[in-house]
Each structure stands twice: as C-alpha cells, then as structure tokens.
Amino acid sequence: MEVKRIYLYPKWLRFWHILNALMCLILIVTGISLQFSNKESSMINFHVAITWHDIAGITLSSSYLIFLIGNIITPNRKHYTLVCKGFFSRIIKQLKYYLVGMFRGEQPPFAITLKQKFNPVQQITYYTVMYIIVPVMIVSGILLLFPQKMIYSIFGINSIIFIDVVHIIGATIILLFLVIHIYFATIGHKPNSHFKSIINGYHEEIN
C-alpha cells in the first residue's frame, strides 16, 4: 500500500489551530467552573477561573484575526466558499457515507485534494462555526467583559441575562462541535494520521 501525502496545512494555519485548541480547552474548563459553582464552592478558584477565562477569551478573539486575515490573503479562503449548485445532494451523499458507507469500508464520496480540503458536511459546519458562532461568542464575550456598557434590557429581558444565555448556547454548540471534530479526527488511515497533519502539515491517505 502506498501512502499519499498532500501538503494542506501551512504553518500559519497550524499555529492558529493549535492556539485555538489550547484556548478553547481553557475556556471550556474555566467556563464550566464558573457556570456551575459560586465564590464559596468551585472546581477552580473563582477569581483564577475568571482571570484565565478572560485571558483565553481575549487571546482567542485576537487569534480570530489571524484566521480572517489568513483567509483573505491566502488561497485557504476557497475551502470556505460555498457552492450552491447541488449543495443539498452533496450534503446527503456525505451524510450517507458517515452513517452507513464508512462502516462498510466504502471510499469517501469526496476525495481530499489541494482544491477541496473539506467535504460538503465539513464545509458547511466549519463555515457556520467560524463565520457565525465564533463571532457571536466574541461579541457576547466582550459585552460580558464590560457589562456597564450594555443597555438595560433586550426584548424586555435584562441584557446581562440575555447575553449570558446567548454566550452559553454558543459555548455549548462549540463544545459539541469540538467533541465531534476530535472523533472524526481519529478517522484516517491510522487513528493518529489527522493529528499528525496539524504537526507536519501533510494529509496522509492510502492509495
């Protein structure tokens, strides 16, 4: 068997991905501690959790600029360009593979190439997370960092409570995304193949 290697992940993208992963981990742990504890009883010291949650949030927000700028000045942006023609049929085809074909040992319906890094399901998922959910998390996080700057109410609800709920919903979606993302990262020609890709930049598959 021959292992085919494609250089898909440039250094800036790997740096951004690893930084994001570390900051997300800190945000998840400190966020859970803050959400389900109080000053008297907490997983992590209350003030320590707040400090690290804020640091990780600011760092992650700043790293989002790396993603945006990188997708503006490099060809990586093409992987996030949605093609409307045949969109739903491609989604269904990929879902059938995930639900049935993958367990039968069938070949993926959409090969990974330099021109097409993501399959249709990955593309719409990553697009939604990176261009909708993450910006919502950044904006809501900034508002919660400076609550005195918010208006008193939104839709008749206390603005802090409203923004907090939005932030928690967004965090839950991202947590689910990360769990699924890590699971699918183990689906390669070897369980660690995709993890190696983020270290050396090369996607590997069996020809």
For the full predicted model, state whether its pTM sits above 0.75: yes
Give 61-88 pLDDT, tens digit per residue: 999 998 999 889 988 888 888 888 888 9
Mean pLDDT over residues 118-146, rounded? 93
The beta strand positions in 58-155, using DSSP E, are 153-154
pLDDT at 145 exceeding the cut of 90: no
pLDDT at 148 exceeding the cut of 80: no
**Contact status, residue 144 vs residue 160, Cβ threshold 8 Å:** yes
Note the pLDDT of residue 40: 67
Show the domains of the chain with their CATH numbers. Answer: 3-206 (1.20.950.20)
**Contact status, residue 17 vs residue 63, Cβ threshold 8 Å:** no
CA dihedral 170, 126, 3, 8 (to 10 degrees): -120
Residue 39: pLDDT band with limits 50, 70, 90: low
pLDDT at 32 exceeding the cut of 70: yes
Residue 131: pLDDT band with limits 50, 70, 90: very high
Alpha carbons 77 and 72: distance in angstroms, whole number: 6
Note the pLDDT of residue 58: 94
**Contact status, residue 16 vs residue 66, Cβ threshold 8 Å:** yes
In 3D, which of 161, 196, 170, 207 has the Cα closest to residue 24? 170
Give 87-130 pLDDT, tens digit per residue: 899 999 999 999 999 888 888 899 888 888 999 999 999 999 99
Give 151-182 pLDDT, tens digit per residue: 666 666 778 888 889 999 999 999 999 999 99
